[in-house]
Amino acid sequence: MRFRFLSVVFVLTILLSLPRFAHHTPDSKHYINLAKYFRGDFERHRLQTPFAYRVLIPFLAAHGPTDDLDFNFAAINVGCTVAAYLLFVAYLKKLVTSSTELNVGTLMLVVSFPSVNYSSGILTDPAAFLACVAAAYLLSQERYGLFAAIVSLGILARESVLSMVLVALLYLLMNSRRQRAALLTILPLVIIPPVVVLIAVRMCFSDLPHYLWVPSLQVMLSNFKRPISWLTVLLTLCPLLILFLIGVWSKRFAFVERLSFRQKSLLLSLTIGGALTVIYSVIAAFMSGRFLWPFYTAFIPVAILASNKTIIFTKLLGPFSNWIFDGTLRNKLSR
């Protein structure tokens, strides 16, 4: 990758993370308490589940470079976001065919609501996002062993990373005719390690009250009554959805013809996985744009490929993103 390109991604991500650097949410105190527990400053029986299951980032924050846990959390999360964005660029390059498409996709990724609202908070979502991006990239390369390892590690940040196992299963089933002989070997490799890690971390905290996200009508109705939840979902999804709809309006689904079968099945699997994750969060947990962020791996490529011939792309987003990342206003047709 070009130095200017990498520098812009790095600087923009840092700048967008600063307004809410180390901000707290209602969940943050539980992660702080878990970090204090790893330092020996908090009693185990006072930990709260399911937050206690998300050990990775609190453990790293507890052993971070400063005594200020807020700073350690925020710095780690910004680092995870930057790493995820740079890896996302490598992933996106496999799906688009021009530098302009890559630049616009990267701009939509970096200059986004999640960059401002989630990248530097006292949360575990940036690490989970990094794991999901890495998993999507490895799945696109069909490197299933590393995929299972990354998802297993990501579950220690946030159990929602397990949704990538569902994505992998869908992808494998869609490609089963092509690799049926290897399917019986690949399926256990993809499924067993993440599930074992999920169970193991819960067993480590089995002395605490057990917690499961159980679907209920009450939870669903509560989510529908929370304006802030709707706002985060709209701000996370709408820019990409609008771009996609403009593209579909102008040329239907012609962009699909550019994709190989493997690419189609990957994006479809990620889209279905994202939709099911959001539905489950609405009926069993809480509705938030955080649950959509990992599935930018599907939403951004689809939005870019659908809209790349529209006026808003060729006259506005393309030239502007090329100027940001390359220092030129010229639309580039190939890499």
CA distance 243 to 144: 32
CA 323 vs CA 25, 225, 241, 329: distances in Å: 36, 42, 24, 5
CA distance 169 to 152: 15
Of 138, 143, 98, the closest CA to residue 305 belongs to 98
pLDDT tens for the 335 residues of the chain, in order: 588 999 999 999 999 999 999 999 999 999 999 999 999 999 999 999 999 999 999 999 999 999 999 999 999 999 999 999 999 999 999 999 899 999 999 999 999 999 999 999 999 999 999 999 999 999 999 999 999 999 999 999 999 999 999 999 999 999 877 666 677 889 999 999 999 999 999 999 999 998 888 999 999 999 888 898 889 999 999 999 999 999 999 877 888 888 999 999 999 999 999 999 989 999 998 889 999 999 999 999 999 999 999 999 999 999 999 999 988 866 554 44
CB 80 within 8 A of CB 129: yes
What is the CA 49 to chain-centroid distance, rounded? 22
Q: Any idea what DSSP says for residue 97?
A: S
What is the CA 291 to chain-centroid distance, rounded? 8
Q: Any idea what DSSP says for residue 210?
A: P
Exposure class string for 301-330: b at 16+ Cβ within 10 A, else e: bbbbbbbbebeebeeebbbebbebbbeeee
Any idea which residue has 């498409």 for tokens? 101
Query: Which residues make Cβ contacts (< 8 Å) with residue 53, sequence separation at least 6?
Result: 159, 201, 202, 205, 211
